Amino acid sequence: MPASTATIVIFGAFGDLTRRKLIPALYHLYCNGHLPEALRIVGVDRVETDTDGFRAHHLEGAQTFVPDIYTSESWSYFGGQLHYVQADITSRAGFGHLKDALTEIEGAPSDRLYYLAVPPLLHKPIVENLSAHQMEVEDEGWRRVIVEKPFGYDLGSAQELNASIHQVFEEQQIFRIDHYLGKETAQNILFLRFANTLFELMWNRNTIDNVQITVAESVDVGHRAAYYDRSGVLRDMFQNHLLQLLTLVAMEPPAILNANALRNEKVKVLESIRPVNLADTVRAQYADYRETEGVDQDSQTATYAALKLFIDNWRWQDVPFYLRSGKALNRKTSEIIVTLKRPPSVMFDRAFAEQITPNMLAICVQPDEGAHFTFQAKLPDSTAETRPVDMEFHYASAFGERRIPDAYERLILDALEGDAALFIRSDEIEAAWHIVDPIISGWADGQGPTMATYERGSWGPTEADDLLGRDGRTWEHSCSH
């Protein structure tokens, strides 16, 4: 537990993320005794209210989003640590007021974590305004900044943003969030691979036929249509979450488990990805997407994408990685399926050999977190018939009542402790944009596939099945049936 006194300053204090995720995560951390003894949470926004109004807003949020832990006793202490400063975060003068207010609330020197839970356009002005009032200076405690995604809109804007934040903060003070890295099951990929002997032995091009990463959502774009129509699935999900999952699956073991060693290995993976062939991409919209309020009637924004890519290094040469993600799909599931090559089947006759499905390891990121390994077993009372059977591990049954913390709990705690391992480094962000930018601009220039459509509740367009079909493969589902 961090020992000192600290302040978390949340810019965007009345935003959806703060209400649904950040305050509930902090409340959970408090109830589990993980927060520093003296921690103040200062919300900053332009909404006209005071500390009482801010507390009431988040009390209602906590009752809605974490009703299982809410008690009036715990809230009476936790809620008492919430403070509100009304300020225009685009104005330099507003920060003078904020600085004075923080000094008064803190009463004594304190560490500070600035959390930018605001749209990306505000990242730069906030950082500049902090600097204009020397609020990044570490003479009275550490100063760190958490930057929410999306980090930039493309490679150029991400580079600009990195450069302007670096003018004020050192890289080790900057924590760029990708909440997928805070998910327990995403972290477990490294433990599954490197804390066991079995899997790493097979984890290479000699044994693995292909890897599939699916992040499917059943929700549509909902009330975020205006943001989403400018963004699309490649920026919203691939540049960050899918590529992050991919790095965890494909990276080499770091020599030591610290932030830099880990992130060096992830960057190497991203830099080894071969430029994606546009013929190996699929883009699609769900059928009534263009009728959504806030969406352009001629929108060319993809709500679904599928890609085939290759990692040109010793371990992965020529192993296809198939990635797909979309909104309004059949169900919410994030899963990574590692399919092994077929065994040589000399001892079986051809008819039997053909029924043998390859071994598959499924890492179920969410929901029903766990892992399954599918292998062949002989059908009882047959001569040589086999069936695929499953060895399954589910967090819920293996770890009983121990709850899986929300990703934001892990990430906020790590930032308070100064551990950046689960945050994205500047070169990593830029390497990821290097991969998706050419696809986005190729599509915008009319190259590659035309926009396909898919029915709500389906698994996506048939074009995505064809992408694998051309290679004699199909998309696999193993988690959350």
Residues marked as catalytic? 241
Q: Smallest distance from the beta carbon of 124 to ligand BG6, in angstroms?
A: 20
- Nearer Cβ to ligand BG6, position 143 or 179? 179
Buried b (16+ CB within 10 A) or exposed e, 236-272: bbbbbbbbbbbbbbbbeebeeeebeebbbbbbbbbeb
Quick one: DSSP state of residue 322?
Answer: E
CA distances from 201 to 34, 196, 375 (A): 37, 9, 17
Amino acid at 87: A
Residue 428 interacts with ligand BG6 (CB under 6 A): yes or no? no
Q: In this chain, which residue has its C-beta nearest to ligand BG6?
A: 236
- Nearer Cβ to ligand BG6, position 83 or 149? 149
Residue 184 interacts with ligand BG6 (CB under 6 A): yes or no? no
Strands 360-366 and 370-378: antiparallel
The helix/strand/coil state of 146 is: strand
Which of the residues 24 through 63 are near ligand BG6 (CB under 6 A)? none
Distance CA 327, CA 74 (A): 37
- Nearer Cβ to ligand BG6, position 236 or 437? 236
Which residues sit opposite 339 in a β-bridge? 210, 360
The count of other CB atoms within 10 Å of the CB of residue 364 is: 23
Which of the residues 147 through 176 are near ligand BG6 (CB under 6 A)? 149
Q: Smallest distance from the beta carbon of 19 to ligand BG6, in angstroms?
A: 16
Q: Smallest distance from the beta carbon of 373 to ligand BG6, in angstroms?
A: 24
**Alpha helix (H) ranges present in 284-349?**
none
Placement of tokens 């100063």 in the chain: 143
Distance CA 77, CA 124 (A): 34
Q: Smallest distance from the beta carbon of 118 to ligand BG6, in angstroms?
A: 14
- Nearer Cβ to ligand BG6, position 40 or 149? 149
Placement of tokens 């580079």 in the chain: 159
- Nearer Cβ to ligand BG6, position 18 or 359? 18
Interacting residues of 106 by C-beta distance below 8 A, sequence separation 6+: 5, 7, 40
Q: Smallest distance from the beta carbon of 145 to ligand BG6, in angstroms?
A: 19
Distance CA 352, CA 345 (A): 9
Residue 265 interacts with ligand BG6 (CB under 6 A): yes or no? no
Q: Concatenated DSSP letters for 366-424?
A: ESS-EEEEEEEEEPTTSSS-EEEEEEEEEHHHHSTTPPPPPHHHHHHHHHHHT--TTSB
Show the site string, 123-152: x = touches ligand BG6 by CB under 6 A, - = not.
--------------------------x---
Shortest CA distance to 12 belongs to which of 46, 50, 39, 41? 46
- Nearer Cβ to ligand BG6, position 179 or 372? 179
- Nearer Cβ to ligand BG6, position 136 or 178? 178
- Nearer Cβ to ligand BG6, position 179 or 266? 179
Q: What are phi and psi of 232, to 5 degrees?
A: 85, 165
Size of the site for ligand BG6 (CB under 6 A): 4
Q: Which of 111, 220, 236, 414 binds ligand BG6 (CB under 6 A)?
A: 236
Residue 476 interacts with ligand BG6 (CB under 6 A): yes or no? no
Q: Smallest distance from the beta carbon of 227 to ligand BG6, in angstroms?
A: 8
Q: Which of 217, 229, 414, 437 binds ligand BG6 (CB under 6 A)?
A: 217
Residue 335 interacts with ligand BG6 (CB under 6 A): yes or no? no
Q: Smallest distance from the beta carbon of 234 to ligand BG6, in angstroms?
A: 12
Q: Smallest distance from the beta carbon of 249 to ligand BG6, in angstroms?
A: 17
Q: Residues in the site for ligand BG6, rule: CB under 6 A?
A: 149, 179, 217, 236
